[in-house]
Structure formats: structure tokens, C-alpha cells
Structure 1
Amino acid sequence: MTEMQVNPSFRLAYVPGVTPGKWVRVWDERLPDVQLDLLAVPVGDGERTLREGGADAGLVRLPVDKDVLSAIPLYTEATVVVFPKDHWLAAAEEVALDDLAEEVVFHPLDDTLGLTADTLPGRPAVARPDTTADAVELVAANVGVLLVPQSLARLHHRRDLTYRPVPEAPQSQVALSWPQERTTDLVEEFIGIVRGRTVNSSRGRGQAEPAAQPKKAAAPRKPQQQKAGGQKAGAQKAGAQKAGGAKAGGQKPRPSAGGRGAAAARRGKPKRRS
């Protein structure tokens, strides 16, 4: 059973690389009287923020503790490798993990791919960068390369860097998550938005638009009207056929031979007497 939320506001946390704009726009259209506050949090703080009540829901990266948090997976991101534009990897359309065997591959502390020392391809760096942003700076210094979700490569874009997809690499999954014990009506409303529910099918507090009134069925015609209509239609059809026949001939119909003989007998001169 959902809880009623007294304070008409909704706090949504989101981690780097996630863009909640399209869902926020739908929220503003559907619930203009409820303020939605966006809270940007570091990738490693998404789960903690939800646990401690810092947000009502969050767009975070899996995994999360499912004993405490509910989560609805939204999409899975492609993984790319980031490197300098003049790097030899730039000649390929996509990169295999074996191509990184001789490369220094950075493993930041806020890694989003679930990599470990055993699963990290290539050669490890001397030290792990604190953040993905720090690792990107090292890549720009031509010290090594970096595996990240594509959205983070775009977020930390630099003109001297580029990236290529790595289909074999682990991938990051983004989910909508919230505390199980605080599933409010507004949380249900946001769930409906990210799932693409319409206003009429939403389970939250958003007001549905009034349904269109059904059109009244046309009254059946009376038998007399139907009969009169049928007779009129038949007469019109017969007239059309007669007119069509006259038009097709181009002249008025001429009388038959028998008819001409009878008329001549009536109009002829009297016979001579013998």
C-alpha cells in the first residue's frame, strides 16, 4: 500500500552520464503543481543517497541492494575505450579486448563497469585514479586508455580524445531505484512516466483527462420511410435508364413499319371508281 506524501515535492537523484530531462518534461506537464527537484550525485553515492532519505527516487547504475531498494532496469549502455585521437586504435571501427593487451588501462575508484583486478584488460596503472574525470585527464596526457559507458565518454568529451566501441567488454545498466519502504504515490507517478504510461493509465495522483462522450447511435428509419425511399430510388433509376437510352440513340424513336401503314391508310387518297 502506498503512502500519502504531505509535502508536494519530489526529489530525484541521478548519477553522471544519466540525462533525466525527457522524464522531467513529462512530469512538469502532468503534475505542474508538484515541484521536482533534481539532485546530481557522484556515481558511488546514488545508493547511499536513497538509503539515507536524501531523495525519493534515483536514476542509478546497477547493482543496488535489492533487500532495501526496489529497482526497475531502464537500459544498458554500450562500453567504449577512450584514447588520444592520434592513437593507433583510431584506425579501427571497434576494438577487441585483446587489442588492449599491451595498453595501460586505467581503473578509477568510481568504476561503473564492475571491473576487478582479474577482469581488467591490458596492464594496470601504478595507481587507481580517484574518479573517471581524473582518469580522462591521464588519457589526455597519453599515459593510457580508459573503458567507460558511452554516456561518460560524451560527458567528459575533449577535442584531443576520441573513443571506439568495445562489444566484448562488460556493460553498465541504468535503473530507476527507490527505498522499498517509501513507495509513495509520487514514486508511482514517476514509475509510470519512465515506463511510458499515459495519463489515463497512470497509477499515481496525476489527474486523467475526461473521457470523450460516446456518440449517440442514429435512430433506425421507420418502415414507411424505408419503403418510400426505395420507391423513390426505383423511379429515379428507371428515369435515368430511359434518358440514357434516348441519349445513346441521338434521335427520337421512329415508329414501326406497321404503324406507318395504318397511318397512311387513314391519310391516303380515295380509290378511283372503275
Structure 2
Amino acid sequence: MALFYFLIIAYHYTTPMQQVEAAEPNWLEQCRQFCAEYGLVTTGDIKKDAEAYLEATKKETLSASLKEILSDSQFEKAETQKHPLLLQQASDFTLPDVEGQPISLASFKNKRPVVLVFYYGYYCSHCVAQLFALEKDLKYFHEMGAEVIAISADTGESTKEKYAKYGKFSFPVLSDTDYRISEAWGVYTRPSDEQAEDLLHGTFVISQAGEVVFANRGQQPFVDNKSLLHWLAELKQQSASQTADASGDAALQNRQD
């Protein structure tokens, strides 16, 4: 796949689009047009290419109030995929952020839910597109009391270089340079005699109690932030219901006493 993509990129730079006749495009031109449609043929500006990818994939732009977004009765949130950690306690980690400061998942337990994102790296425009989408909608996640955390194998130094050029993200971006955490979360497979190396995008919703309630892995980033907000709203409703039940049980016990 890497060699095939390299071939398309080489063709893209040696054959400008305006020099290609519209009629009867060859297979390379067809592939180049497909990549261009989805923002996979780079312009050299990662942010611009990321925004092109979001537009091409028809990522919904959220502009209404959070109440309106969550009260949309016609909306069907994305279903979770199967995952070994689903409905289990999240696998903990401690990783450095761009400043080298350690951030642990456990530090958020019993405080707030977490949206955890694994992306390939800032070198990949369509991969980092998910982070740009989350940045745009971050106010909604904070309104839900949730934290967003992103992880890749990029070093903090390389991420800071991209920040200087394209602007920083307002949520923690952590470095998993040896893929140890990515492997534990099932988004990275180390090469061996039995299997080839593999890297996936991963998006997880983790409850305040530390339980994984939503998982999505795949070749493309998950950019449906509206679904993530609905999952967080469901968690909030469950928490409120459990609190009400606990209060009711306590009140009943007091009356019995």
C-alpha cells in the first residue's frame, strides 16, 4: 500500500493536473483524482489538506447549542465496534505531552469521561484531520465535562514544530514513540514471522468510572463528533440515574432505621 501510494504521489508531482486531458484518464490519473477528492494528495499545507479531507468526507459542522445537538430526535449515533476492552476497565498509561510532562489516564478516573484518539501522526493530513475536527468542537466536549486526549508515535519536539506552523491543539497530545500503548489498545500490530506490521486509527469513549463504552478502529479517522457527544450524554444520563437510585436507597434505609 505504501509503495502504491508513493507511486501516485510521484505521478502527482511529475504530472500537473492541468496538463491531463479530461477524456480517457489512465488508471494512475483515476487514482490521483480519487485521492484528490478525499484530500489525500497533499498540497504541502497539512492544515489545508486536513480541512479538505473533512469537507470531502462530509464531516458535519456543529454550530447549534449543545442542547439542540443532543435533542435531535432524527439522529442515530454510531454504534460501537467490538473490542477486547469494551465494557472493561480502560488500560492505563502514562505518556509525555509536547512539553515532556507526564499525563496518565488514571488521573482522570472518577473526575471526568475521556475521548481517547489514536492517530498515525502529524505528517499525515487526513490522519490529523480528526484532531482539527475535535479542536473545532472542543467547547461541546468541555461542556459535557469530558477531556480529549490524542496519541501518536510522534515525538513532542516534532509535534511542537507543527504547532509553530499550524497552531496548537487545546487538548493533550501525547507521544507513544515505541507504540507500546497503541499496541495495548489494539491499534498497532508489531511485525513478526506470522503477521505484518499494522497501524489503525482508534477512537474510544471512556466513562468517568474508567470503563470503555465505545470503540472504533479502522483505516480512516473517526470524525463523527456528534456521535461522540451523544455517547457522552448517555453516560451522563446513566450517572444521574445511578445517583438518583443511590439517594433513593439511602432515604429508604433511613426510614427503615
With structure 1 as the length reference, what TM-score do the two structures score? Answer: 0.22
Structure richer in helix, relative to its length:
2
Structure richer in strand, relative to its length:
1
Higher Rg: 1
With structure 2 as the length reference, what TM-score do the two structures score? Answer: 0.23
